């Protein structure tokens, strides 16, 4: 079964840091571009970042202004998101998502991990 499973979310104070992980199974992880997408409470979806299959190409949403870093370890079938200088507006469910065939469409999603930024 094709699966993505996020972990690492939690409650963090403003200005703090957090590392999210996403474990992939059931498909050849190293062949796919992977993405992070977040959803603030009661809000819409917001694309966060993408990383190509071997990490050559990395892109971020302009709004993140260098605070987040995406990486992957194909040997471990894992995707990561390092988040620094966290703000209240970063509070959201963070999803990892597989991109299908470089079409900017996300065909496999994890269940999400909740990140809450609050003092």
Partner 1 sequence: QSALTQPPSASGSLGRSVTISCTGTSGDIGGYNLVSWYQQHSGKAPRLLIYEVTKRPSGVPDRFSASKSGNTASLTVSGLQPEDEADYFCSSYAGSSGVVFGGGTKLTVL
Residues near partner 1 (CB under 8 A) are 35, 37, 43-47, 50, 59-62, 95, 100, 103-107, 109-112
Q: Which is nearer to partner 1, 3 or 15 (CB)?
A: 3
Q: How far is the CB of 62 from partner 1 (least distance, A)?
A: 6
Q: How far is the CB of 80 from partner 1 (least distance, A)?
A: 18
Q: How far is the CB of 28 from partner 1 (least distance, A)?
A: 18
Q: Which is nearer to partner 1, 75 or 103 (CB)?
A: 103
**CA 53 to CA 24: how far, in whole Å?**
13
Joined together, the tokens standing for residue 17 give: 């840091």
Please name the residues in contact with 43: beta carbons below 8 A apart, sequence gap of 6 or more: 92
**CA 6 to CA 89: how far, in whole Å?**
20
Q: Which is nearer to partner 1, 18 or 37 (CB)?
A: 37
Contacts of residues 56-61 at CB distance under 8 Å and 24 or more positions apart, as own/partner, are 57/33
């Amino acid at each position: 079964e094709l699966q993505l499973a996020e972990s690492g979310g939690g409650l963090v104070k403003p200005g703090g840091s957090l590392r999210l992980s996403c474990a992939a199974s059931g498909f050849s992880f190293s062949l796919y571009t992977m993405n992070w997408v977040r959803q603030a409470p009661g809000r819409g979806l917001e694309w966060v970042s993408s990383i190509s299959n071997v990490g050559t190409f990395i892109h971020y949403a302009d709004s993140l202004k260098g605070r987040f870093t995406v990486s992957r370890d194909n040997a471990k079938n894992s995707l990561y998101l390092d988040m620094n200088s966290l703000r209240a507006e970063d509070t959201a469910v963070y999803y990892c998502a597989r991109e299908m065939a470089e079409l900017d469409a996300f065909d496999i999603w994890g269940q999400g991990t909740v990140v809450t930024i609050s003092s």
